[in-house]
Amino acid sequence: MGRMENTAKRILFVLAHPGDETVWVGGTIADAVAQGAQVTVVTVTRGEHAPVLPEELRYLASDPAALAAARESELAQALACLGVTDHRWLGGLRAKPADVPLHRYADAAPASATPAAESAATTPLAEADPEAVAADVQAVVQQLRPHAIVTLGAVDADPDHAAVRRATARAFAEAHRDDEAWHPRTLFAVERPRGPLRHDLRRLARSRSVVRPRPHDRHTTVPDRRVDTSVDVRARRETIRRALQCHRTRIALEGDVWTLADGTGAPVQGYEYLVEIGGRARPVSPDAERDLINGWEPLAAREGDLHRHPVDEMPSGRGILLLERAGTAIALVLLGMLVATITTFSHAAVWRPTGQADPAIPWGLVVSFIALVGVALALRLEPAPPWSAAWYALGVWAALYTLAQASSSQALMTVPLGAIWLYGGMLAVAVVAFIPLHRSGGGR
């Protein structure tokens, strides 16, 4: 993160559970504190229904109140590691409208769990009035007057994260509708871009860890081009590790890889990535690429009013998103046709080590088959859009069928190699494109 212009810079982090502040934005928080920013972390729930990781602490799973107390203590320790001195529970002291009684939010219980008897002052976040949650966030915003607000994007499938993101976006929008209210400059969502994620997946594979990757489909990742700000947190990795070790009930750390109770995890990141979703500021200098405040200039009121409400919307709008998807499908079909055409021309190549007709080693068939199927497999294993491999397979089938029709006059597919190539290639690509693959689930 770039150097702060002065110590008056104020950043508010609004997060759903204890641990979110460390796993997703620990480096950004620690870096902001180190650069002199005034950092406040607001946590919405105490994570009292989350699975417990270590065997010796699993007795807490049957006692939500005890687990909540344990996670409160862990959060306090982690925040101390990150350097945060101002923490608030949403609905608690200094985190609600003045005329609203103290209250608290409970996290989402697993479907298999027996519902706990909540007190009258505790509301499951999933059942809370979205306007009331947003009003609590808005109260904090007007008290602290932050320049930047940070919440979680679609980093996993947790419904609490989505609810907090919507409430924070609503509070941000409401602040800008009131001329007399404090107007935060930027609203960021922490996201996982697909390019760096591929690097993290390779790091995880090289670590030989039994940890399964976190969910990484199109719903939990974003294209690299959507990232507005990348915070370099490599110098904060040791701080992040210490904070991760504080969350004993939920997180295990082995070397550079953290793990949750569901067996999924990831390496400690060197960069944290954010997308500006508030629509009330624009980048005006290179500082914006690495800083949450510097380099961002407020838009004129009229420009801001024309911007769409940011809650769970792609910034380019639905129409452009559909065009992007159509363009991706066409590109993948063309890719399949190109790969199939090139490999068809090379599949008949053979090596005759003795110079005689026999033996003939069909190296061209082997290499072409690997190339044809390898692209389909890569599209399935990488965090590509859904049905990417299917669109690619469609292009392959179209090209192979067309070339087979022309083979009688152009001798592109000779028997028996041609038959093996045509039917084997079509079948193999179909299997790779459509066979079900296991995807890791979400977790808190």
Chosen domain end from 295, 315, 335: 315
For residue range 351-386, what is the model confidence (pLDDT) as tens digits?
Answer: 877 777 677 788 878 898 899 999 988 888 765 666
Predicted local distance difference test score (pLDDT) of residue 141: 98
Within 10 angstroms of residue 119's Cβ, the number of other Cβ atoms is 11
Report how far residue 171's alpha carbon sits from residue 133's, in angstroms, rounded to the nearest whole number.
9
- 3 in any annotated domain: no
Q: Are residues 30 and 126 in the same domain?
A: yes
Q: Are residues 34 and 134 in the same domain?
A: yes
Q: Are residues 132 and 224 in the same domain?
A: yes
CB burial class (10 A; 0-12, 13-18, 19+) of residue 177?
A: exposed
* Best-predicted range by mean pLDDT (165-179, 201-215, 423-437): 165-179
Q: Are residues 149 and 225 in the same domain?
A: yes
Predicted local distance difference test score (pLDDT) of residue 435: 79
Render 278-322 in DSSP notation, one character per residue: S-SEEE-SGGGGT-SSTTEEEPPHHHHHHSPP-TT--TT-HHHHH
Report how many domains make up the chain. Answer: 2
Predicted local distance difference test score (pLDDT) of residue 58: 94
| Residue scoring higher pLDDT (414 or 49) | 49
Residue type at position 230 = S
| Residue scoring higher pLDDT (94 or 261) | 94
Predicted confidence (pLDDT) at residue 315 exceeds the cutoff of 70: no
248-272 average pLDDT score: 94
Show the domain range for 27: 10-315
Chosen domain end from 280, 315, 350: 315
- 113 in any annotated domain: yes
Q: Are residues 252 and 361 in the same domain?
A: no
**What is the pLDDT of the chain when averaged over all its residues?**
86
169-185 average pLDDT score: 96
417-434 and 318-346 helices cross at what angle (nearest 10)?
150
Predicted confidence (pLDDT) at residue 347 exceeds the cutoff of 60: yes
Question: CA nearest 83: which of 38, 31, 33, 27?
Answer: 33
Residue listed under structure tokens 């190549």: 349
Q: Are residues 337 and 279 in the same domain?
A: no
How sure is the predictor about 118, in pLDDT bands with cuts at 50, 70 and 90?
A: low
Q: Are residues 333 and 276 in the same domain?
A: no
Chosen domain end from 315, 343, 363: 315
Report how far residue 89's alpha carbon sits from residue 77's, in angstroms, rounded to the nearest whole number.
15
Residue listed under structure tokens 């990348």: 230
Q: pLDDT above 70 covers what percent of the chain? A: 85
Q: pLDDT above 90 covers what percent of the chain? A: 59
Within 10 angstroms of residue 240's Cβ, the number of other Cβ atoms is 25
Q: Are residues 32 and 81 in the same domain?
A: yes
Q: Are residues 38 and 178 in the same domain?
A: yes
Predicted confidence (pLDDT) at residue 3 exceeds the cutoff of 50: no
- 440 in any annotated domain: no
Q: Are residues 69 and 175 in the same domain?
A: yes
Q: Are residues 294 and 326 in the same domain?
A: no
Q: Are residues 251 and 394 in the same domain?
A: no
- 439 in any annotated domain: no
Within 10 angstroms of residue 110's Cβ, the number of other Cβ atoms is 12
Predicted local distance difference test score (pLDDT) of residue 67: 97
- 5 in any annotated domain: no
The CA-based dihedral angle spanning residues 228, 234, 239, 240, taken in that order and rounded to the nearest 10 degrees: 60
- 100 in any annotated domain: yes
166-177 average pLDDT score: 97
| Residue scoring higher pLDDT (137 or 256) | 137
User: Cα 429 to the chain's mean position, in Å?
Assistant: 29
- 2 in any annotated domain: no
3-state helix, strand, coil in the chain (%, to 5): 45, 15, 40
For residue range 384-406, what is the model confidence (pLDDT) as tens digits?
Answer: 666 888 899 999 999 888 888 77
For position 172, which CATH number holds?
3.40.50.10320
Cis peptide before 310 (omega within 30 of 0): no
- 213 in any annotated domain: yes
| Residue scoring higher pLDDT (316 or 435) | 435
Question: CA nearest 84: which of 128, 151, 124, 37?
Answer: 37
Residue count (the chain): 444
